Chains A and B, each alone.
Chain A
Amino acid sequence: QQQVKQSPQSLIVQKGGISIINCAYENTAFDYFPWYQQFPGKGPALLIAIRPDVSEKKEGRFTISFNKSAKQFSLHIMDSQPGDSATYFCAASGASGGSYIPTFGRGTSLIVHP
């Protein structure tokens, strides 16, 4: 059973456009929602994260929007650049037994055309 559902599977945007990736979770015990960026042949890199006590968090061109009642969160990339072309994973975790082990979505492959 997939606990974190991510969409779309792939996304193509033009340079300067807005990229939007959505995730939905099921476990209400989750209380930390990170986004990771992964380039081919590299490990995932933490991009931005949010906790459910806020509805939005912005860092530079990257914004997370969080809807606790709908159990959904999304990543917005403003002014998308070709260098943003990568695979993006959402994740969710909670302090179950103190382990904080994240459950990842299946990823979104983003291509930004110049």
Chain B
Amino acid sequence: DTGVSQDPRHKITKRGQNVTFRCDPISEHNRLYWYRQTLGQGPEFLTYFQNEAQLEKSRLLSDRFSAERPKGSFSTLEIQRTEQGDSAMYLCASSRSGGSYEQYFGPGTRLTVT
């Protein structure tokens, strides 16, 4: 299966620690998106890349959050000095460019900050 993959699937960390998540998109997709999803809510957009360029960031993406896609393939999302409010599912999605709306989501990384 060559779908979107994310690692780790689950992460438990203590408040104040840094965490990093990885996303591997579908290989021919050059757009990559990060979302956050809390219980009972739909996914909320965080940021997106076209190839290695980060083109848009949401106001939800505070200074403690940083995302990279250095070679235009996989991406990482880092959260520094985690807070309990960061507990959520972090979803990655990918799509083709050139007018394609269809986004394909990965299984997500469940973050719990204790």
User: Which residues does A use to contact B, with CB under 8 Å?
Assistant: 6, 32, 34, 36, 41-46, 49, 89, 91, 93, 95, 97-107
Q: Which residue of A lies closest to B43 (CB)?
A: A104
Q: How far is the CB of A62 from chain B (nearest CB, A)?
A: 16
Contact assessment for A101 and B107 in the assembled complex, using a CB-CB cutoff below 8 Å: no
Task: Given A43-B91, A44-B91, decide whether A100 and B101 contact each other with a Cβ distance below 8 A.
Answer: yes
The 8 closest A-B pairs by CB, nearest first: A104-B42, A43-B105, A32-B101, A100-B101, A89-B42, A44-B105, A43-B108, A43-B107
Contact assessment for B43 and A42 in the assembled complex, using a CB-CB cutoff below 8 Å: no
Q: Is B85 an interface residue (CB 8 A)?
A: no
Which of B41, B93, B99 contacts A107 (CB under 8 A)?
B41
Q: How far is the CB of A4 from chain B (nearest CB, A)?
A: 8
Q: How far is the CB of B102 from chain A (nearest CB, A)?
A: 6
Which of A44, A45, A97 contacts B43 (CB under 8 A)?
A44
Contact assessment for B42 and A105 in the assembled complex, using a CB-CB cutoff below 8 Å: yes
Which of A41, A91, A100 contacts B100 (CB under 8 A)?
A100
Docked complex Cα distance between A103 and B41 (Å): 12
Contact assessment for B107 and A42 in the assembled complex, using a CB-CB cutoff below 8 Å: yes
Q: Which residue of A lies closest to B6 (CB)?
A: A43
Docked complex Cα distance between A53 and B106 (Å): 30
Task: Given A43-B105, A44-B105, A102-B103, decide whether A107 and B42 contact each other with a Cβ distance below 8 A.
Answer: yes
Which residues of chain A come closer than 8 Å to B100, judged between CB atoms? Answer: 100
Contact assessment for A107 and B104 in the assembled complex, using a CB-CB cutoff below 8 Å: no
Q: Is B4 an interface residue (CB 8 A)?
A: yes
Docked complex Cα distance between A34 and B55 (Å): 23
Contact assessment for B56 and A106 in the assembled complex, using a CB-CB cutoff below 8 Å: no
Which residues of chain A come closer than 8 Å to B40, judged between CB atoms? Answer: 106-107
Write the B72-97 contact mask toward A (1 if CB under 8 angstroms, else 0): 00000000000000000001010101
